[in-house]
Amino acid sequence: MSKTAWVFPGQGSQVLGMGVDLIDLPLAQQRFAQAEEILGWSVIAVCQHDEAKLGQTLYTQPCLYVVESILADLLKQKTLPDFVAGHSLGEYIALYVAGVFEWSAGLRLVKRRAELMENAAGGMMAAMIKFDRDELERVIGQTPDVVLANDNSPEQVVISGTPEAVKMVMEKVKAKRAIPLNVSGAFHSPLMAAAAQEFQDVLTSVEFLPASIPVMSNVEPTPTQDGNVLKQRLMQQMTGSVRWREISLGLADHGITHVVEIGPGNVLTGLIKRTCGDMQLDNVRNAAELAQWGDNCI
């Protein structure tokens, strides 16, 4: 029997105008109003008019959480997934969709996460495309203060650490492209330890219920529905690597034949295609694609 996974993109997928076509829908209106009460600012105003703010971690992460969760809730009225996973921030939407915490609790977590990450200055991240993996792992192993932050696909990774260490790896490893990322800190690295410790206190106070469907976490791609395990994995996420390549391979291993990326862009479906070429891939990025669901996607 065919199984379907829903996946949720993280920071970097945001685009100006995302979510704007949802504002006439009652569920979206309710969510946007709730979000403004929690955040103290309007998600729809930022998404519609303020590209500069939308590119700042403080605003990016809550905006993505709100828009992606609305799309997911609307899609749930038509169909349900067998597995869920999310890339970095996207894991929070996956956990919400799986019923691990209620919507407002998830947004409050994302709000605090964004604040801590926005203030975690002093690090650097860089994407590397088409490289020798053995050489990269060897150089990282020999270079202090840099780690593999995002293992996205066989041909694309992100490294994270001090600026000196990241630049050293970029110089030593031959790659088709090596691109510094416009981020405020060394996310998904040990340099986030202080922020992660502060965030752990916030996470501890939130009840995690058993998931209604299996969740594949960034730091441990093995699917689980145990709420306590999912919380522990999320506690490790801020300093741990995003193992997306392994998540992609794990989906296939667990009988998933169809993956739907919910949210702006097509980053995750692109990564999965390069890792598992025979997977059926679809995107739900906006109200128009949501309205077409069932005509061509199933």
- Catalytic positions are 88, 188
Angle at alpha carbon of residue 38, lines to 37 and 42, rounded to 5°: 60
- Rounded to whole angstroms, the Cα distance separating 256 from 2 reads 7
Angle between helices 90-97 and 57-76 (to 10 degrees): 30
Tally helices (H) and strands (E) across the chain: 13, 9
The CA radius of gyration of the chain, in Å to the nearest whole number, is 18
- Rounded to whole angstroms, the Cα distance separating 291 from 178 reads 39
Other Cβ atoms within 10 Å of 227 Cβ, number: 19
| C-beta of residue 196 within 8 angstroms of C-beta of residue 239 | yes
Give me the count of residues in the chain.
298
Other Cβ atoms within 10 Å of 236 Cβ, number: 15
